[in-house]
Amino acid sequence: MSTPLLQLIDVHRTYQIGESTVQALRGVSVTIERGDFVAIMGASGSGKSSLMQILGLLDTPDKGDYLLLGQNVNTMTEDEQAGVRNNIAGFVFQQFHLLKRMSVVENVRLPHIYSGLKGDFRQEAIERLRQVGLDKRMDHTPNQLSGGEQQRVAIARALLRDPLIIFADEPTGNLDTKNSSEIMKIFKELHEAGKTIVMVTHENDIAAYADRIITMRDGVIISDERRAGREPVVPATADRRFDVHGVKHVLWQDGRFIGFMTQAFQAILANKLRSFLSVLGIFVGVASVIAMMALGEGAKASMQEQLKSMGSNMLSIRGGSAKIRGAAQGAGAVARFTFTDVDDIATLKSLVKSASGVVNGVGRIVYGNKNWSSSLSGVGYEYGNMRATIPTVGRWFTEEEIRKRDKVAIIGVTVVKELFGNSNPLGKTIKINRINFTVIGIAPAKGFSGPQDEDDVVLIPVTTAMYRVLGKNFLSGIFVEVTQPTLIDPAKSAIDVQIRKRHRLKSDDDSFNIRDMTEIQKMLSSTTQTMSLLLGSIAAISLVVGGIGIMNIMLVSVTERTREIGLRKAIGARKGDIMLQFLVESVGLTISGGVIGIIAGVGVSFLLAFFADWAVKTSIVSVVVATAFSALIGIFFGLWPARKAADLKPLEALRYE
């Protein structure tokens, strides 16, 4: 004796409606064999729909056993039941439950997405449409079809997975007599081909197509009659083995995930205005993040340029104690440095990139009938690169000019303004402390450093300054460029040892000091980082607000699409499938907004740089951060709506008004 296809044993089902308790099924026992065509009849409230919903695994009994091919359904998990629905059951509903934003062929293909099988199943869907006479209208949408045609599409969808059993819930309830006859003719042909059909109806002429009629009243079966001479149609194919625990569910399989993405974007495009407004919040947030981070990076780059002009990785060696700087110092309290000290320091190749001596003084500058008092610095050849002072207009000193003590000068922009106005100073002769010098360059503008104007300066060769202008036989100081920032402290220690050894100074002698720019760099870096974080935080708030908007839209979408969720679950969607689909929609919205926001953010950065002349620097890091953050926003704020959708029961969702 073959195993029954479906078997209910003493099944009870009770519903709580408000404060009332409704006993839909009261100890129902029934067996459905392979090849049966069963019509379940009864008045409204008799329990016929509840019986079919339990048979179709859309609902679970409170008490009793349900055996499917000999396996107890009560031991299955919710996802295993979904797998059963996808593999052996096909559903045809009174309301059709077609997704209006999808074409006819896409509606028919829908069960494939949850099957775990590879392939697009388009040809199979077209074949099923041909079977119900609608292959010519496969690219239409449900709104372009009549009621009868929509029901035929639903039948084609139910047949896609070649189910063992078809459940039809009042399949002709919304159709006229002609369409009802056409639909029942299809069911009759399917039954004759060996399909098992369980149908709920309240019409006697529709029930007449069935071989077996089960009549219900008040939650119990009052009659179960098989028409004379109408035995089950045994399929020609071999009995299909099915192990519910062996149903494989690969959520991230390529075909499945692509299907989810396709449908997610169909849902997004179905409500263009609402999706645009949702995307707008993310777009503004991402654009703000890009623009604000560009401003922060620009400020950082600008700061680095300023540090470079001050002397990045720079050490300044001066005579005298740092503790009493500016106070009168007795004889012998100040170390005197010479070019030999510079050469000795330059030999520390592993620590020192370059070294240059400098002589400072004050110069009276005269050109024509104009004169100006300015800072005068005698500098070496390496000084230009070390202090970022190479002229953009004109040129730097040559080593030959420095060796020969030539009378050439590079003047700052303030000196140019005071002596030459708008005229070109290059090649002109000026007097510095009554000595003629030729102007060969204009020093790059540096602005103010505290109260001191860094552009009010005249640079001449260090040898010229010492022996022709200032009359000094020692250097005012030595600038040293360290090879890299991490070696500043070792370099200071090595130079300190070398100077003490050469000048025979004791370890506690403080007749010279070595200073670095570390503290200034730390302060400026800290300030810039704080501003960048502040700007980024403000922009991130926009993203969070956009994320909240996405969550609201997704919650509304879950409510609006409750019946759709019920349909998807009825045809085999697991919790993870529904959750992933809504997450993909949420992330799709945020990523779309993110991409547009990146373009807008880069554009805003360019406009700020072009029109406002602000220092901006768009980095790939800011683009990656903004994109990743927008995706995380989509996941975070889409998680609750997705979970809410996944937790819906198929029957409750299908009944949602």
What average pLDDT does this structure show over 529-536? Answer: 73
Report the pLDDT value the prediction gives residue 284, as an integer from 0 to 100.
79
What average pLDDT does this structure show over 326-348? Answer: 75
Question: 16 in a domain, yes or no?
Answer: yes
Final residue before a domain boundary, out of 497, 515, 533: 515
Is the pLDDT at 291 greater than 70, yes or no?
Answer: yes
Is the pLDDT at 132 greater than 50, yes or no?
Answer: yes
Question: 262 in a domain, yes or no?
Answer: no
- The span from the CA of 36 to the CA of 235, in Å, is 10
Strand partners, 364: 373
Shared domain for 622 and 558, answered yes or no, is yes
Pairing type for strands 452-453 and 457-461 reads: unpaired
Report the pLDDT value the prediction gives residue 449, as an integer from 0 to 100.
67
Domain that holds residue 330: 313-515
What are φ and ψ of residue 517, in 5° steps?
A: -95, 10
Shared domain for 151 and 63, answered yes or no, is yes
Which residues neighbour 543 within 8 Å (Cβ) at sequence distance 6 or greater? 282, 285, 286, 288, 289, 629, 630, 633
What average pLDDT does this structure show over 260-284? Answer: 74
Shared domain for 297 and 347, answered yes or no, is no
Shared domain for 323 and 245, answered yes or no, is no
- Determine if residue 521 is left, alpha or beta; phi over 0 gives left, psi from -120 to 50 gives alpha, anything else beta: alpha
Is the pLDDT at 252 greater than 80, yes or no?
Answer: no
What would you report as the CA-atom Rg of the chain, rounded to the nearest whole angstrom?
A: 43
Average pLDDT along the chain: 83
Is the pLDDT at 438 greater than 50, yes or no?
Answer: yes
Q: Are the C-beta atoms of residues 319 and 512 closer than 8 Å to each other?
A: yes
Question: 257 in a domain, yes or no?
Answer: no
pTM: 0.62
Most confident region among 194-203, 444-453, 483-492 by mean pLDDT:
194-203
CB atoms within 10 A of CB 649: 15
Is the pLDDT at 447 greater than 70, yes or no?
Answer: yes
Report the pLDDT value the prediction gives residue 541, as an integer from 0 to 100.
78
What are φ and ψ of residue 580, in 5° steps?
A: -65, -40
Is the pLDDT at 531 greater than 90, yes or no?
Answer: no
Question: 176 in a domain, yes or no?
Answer: yes
Report the pLDDT value the prediction gives residue 416, as an integer from 0 to 100.
94
Report the pLDDT value the prediction gives residue 333, as an integer from 0 to 100.
66
Is the pLDDT at 322 greater than 70, yes or no?
Answer: no
Is the pLDDT at 647 greater than 80, yes or no?
Answer: yes
Shared domain for 244 and 287, answered yes or no, is no
Pairing type for strands 20-32 and 37-42 reads: unpaired
Shared domain for 46 and 140, answered yes or no, is yes
Question: 261 in a domain, yes or no?
Answer: no
Shared domain for 144 and 223, answered yes or no, is yes
Is the pLDDT at 331 greater than 90, yes or no?
Answer: no
Is the pLDDT at 382 greater than 50, yes or no?
Answer: yes
Question: 364 in a domain, yes or no?
Answer: yes
Report the pLDDT value the prediction gives residue 605, as an integer from 0 to 100.
78
More confident: 236 or 463: 463
Report the pLDDT value the prediction gives residue 165, as an integer from 0 to 100.
92
Shared domain for 49 and 168, answered yes or no, is yes
Shared domain for 511 and 527, answered yes or no, is no
Q: Are the C-beta atoms of residues 215 and 223 closer than 8 Å to each other?
A: yes
Question: 255 in a domain, yes or no?
Answer: no
Shared domain for 581 and 621, answered yes or no, is yes
pLDDT, tens only, 586-600: 888 888 887 888 888
Shared domain for 379 and 426, answered yes or no, is yes
Question: 334 in a domain, yes or no?
Answer: yes
- Total of domains in the chain: 3
Final residue before a domain boundary, out of 451, 485, 515: 515
pLDDT, tens only, 546-601: 778 778 877 887 888 888 888 888 888 888 888 888 888 888 888 888 788 888 88
What average pLDDT does this structure show over 211-221? Answer: 92
What average pLDDT does this structure show over 504-531? Answer: 77
Q: Are the C-beta atoms of residues 546 and 282 closer than 8 Å to each other?
A: yes
Final residue before a domain boundary, out of 470, 493, 515: 515
CATH number at residue 183: 3.40.50.300
Q: In what order do the strands lie in the sheet with 71-72?
A: 20-32, 6-17, 63-68, 71-72
